[in-house]
């Protein structure tokens, strides 16, 4: 008995070695049900990295809605998770495909090619100096990029998944937001839902505001079209003001059926507003028609 008691005392006095966690194998975190493929523009020859997230649920009648996000290297993963969370049954929206339109880089932004794809032609002398002090790269490829979306990317996505060509959304931020507005003015039929985040309306001395006013004065039939303009309330004063001016310029187009929204996101600046815009874009694109 004494030996048993002594053994118990000795055991209590010996410090217990802490549990050792086994090291997990090193691996990158993958986005569920996703793939990446390269696609070249048949018009310009430029190559793009295309990110696609597939829904877990079967497609609705007519095919999946598709949400297209510009600057896909920076936006795709956040967008894919936002859609995955907001489409969970039983209370979520219906399933949707997420497509990120990116470039062949591992950086969040490709700061040369996006200047070409997302801008309209302009004399660089009419632009404010770049923040890094460097000259502007090639500019003015926005119309060619619209053609790439329609002629190359839409068919490539449709070849992989059953999609609804009437339920497309385009989401762009900064220069991508400017492109979104430009494409809307040129081809409002191309997408059902348009989300222009922190749009660079200053481009070409703000000439897009005049274009928007002319468009809204004699708009086409915009029934079923949705346009949302969002900006961080803490962004540069001119960015905040110009987003409001764009919403005002397009307001008359509501008479032609356009569902127009505008919001300044409190406490957010140019980059921090991006996740909020992505989250909002899911609801805008997937909620029932007429709900706002």
Among residues 41, 110, 173, 174, the one annotated as catalytic is 174
Q: What are 38-80's pLDDT values in tens digits?
A: 999 999 999 999 999 999 999 999 999 999 999 999 999 999 9
Among residues 34, 186, 270, 287, the one annotated as catalytic is 270
Pick the CATH number of 31-286 from 3.40.50.1820, 3.40.50.970, 3.40.50.10860, 1.10.10.60: 3.40.50.1820
Does position 170 have pLDDT exceeding 50, yes or no?
Answer: yes
- Indicate if 235 belongs to the active site: yes
Does position 92 have pLDDT exceeding 60, yes or no?
Answer: yes
Residue 288 vs residue 144, higher pLDDT: 144
- Indicate if 61 belongs to the active site: no
Q: Determine the pLDDT at residue 13.
A: 40
Q: For residues 124-129, give the mean pLDDT.
A: 87
Task: Give the start-end residues of each E strand in 233-289.
Answer: 259-265
Please say whether the beta carbons of 73 and 102 come within 8 A.
yes
Q: Determine the pLDDT at residue 53.
A: 98
pTM of the entire predicted model: 0.90
Among residues 235, 242, 268, 281, the one annotated as catalytic is 235
The band of 143, judged by pLDDT with boundaries at 50, 70 and 90, is very high
Q: Please classify residue 144 by burial: count the beta carbons closer than 10 Å to its beta carbon, then call 0-12 exposed, 13-18 middle and 19+ buried.
A: middle
| CA-wise closest residue to 72 among 42, 31, 28, 119 | 31
């Amino acid at each position: 008995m004494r030996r048993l008691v002594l053994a118990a005392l000795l055991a209590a006095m010996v410090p217990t070695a802490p549990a050792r966690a086994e090291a997990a194998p090193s691996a990158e975190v993958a986005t569920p049900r996703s793939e990446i493929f390269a696609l070249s523009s048949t018009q310009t020859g430029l190559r793009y990295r295309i990110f696609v997230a597939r829904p877990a649920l079967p497609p609705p009648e007519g095919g999946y809605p598709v949400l297209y996000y510009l600057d896909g290297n920076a936006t795709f993963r956040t967008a894919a998770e936002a859609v995955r969370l907001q489409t969970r049954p039983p209370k979520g929206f219906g399933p949707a495909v997420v497509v990120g339109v990116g470039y062949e880089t591992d950086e969040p932004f490709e700061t040369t090619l996006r200047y070409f794809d997302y801008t309209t032609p302009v004399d660089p002398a009419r632009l404010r100096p770049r923040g890094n002090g460097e000259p502007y790269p090639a500019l003015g490829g926005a119309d060619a990029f619209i053609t790439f979306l329609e002629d190359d990317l839409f068919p490539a996505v449709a070849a992989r998944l059953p999609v609804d060509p009437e339920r497309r959304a385009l989401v762009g931020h900064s220069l991508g937001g400017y492109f979104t507005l430009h494409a809307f003015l040129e081809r409002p039929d191309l997408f059902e839902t348009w989300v222009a985040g922190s749009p660079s309306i200053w481009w070409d001395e703000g000439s897009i505001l005049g274009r928007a006013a002319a468009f809204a004065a004699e708009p086409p039939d915009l029934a079923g079209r949705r346009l949302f303009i969002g900006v961080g309330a803490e962004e540069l004063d001119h960015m905040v003001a110009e987003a409001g001016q764009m919403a005002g310029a397009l307001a008359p187009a509501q008479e032609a059926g356009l569902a127009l929204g505008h919001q300044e996101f409190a406490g957010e600046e140019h980059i921090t507003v991006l996740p909020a815009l992505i989250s909002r874009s899911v609801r805008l694109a997937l909620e029932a028609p007429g709900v706002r």
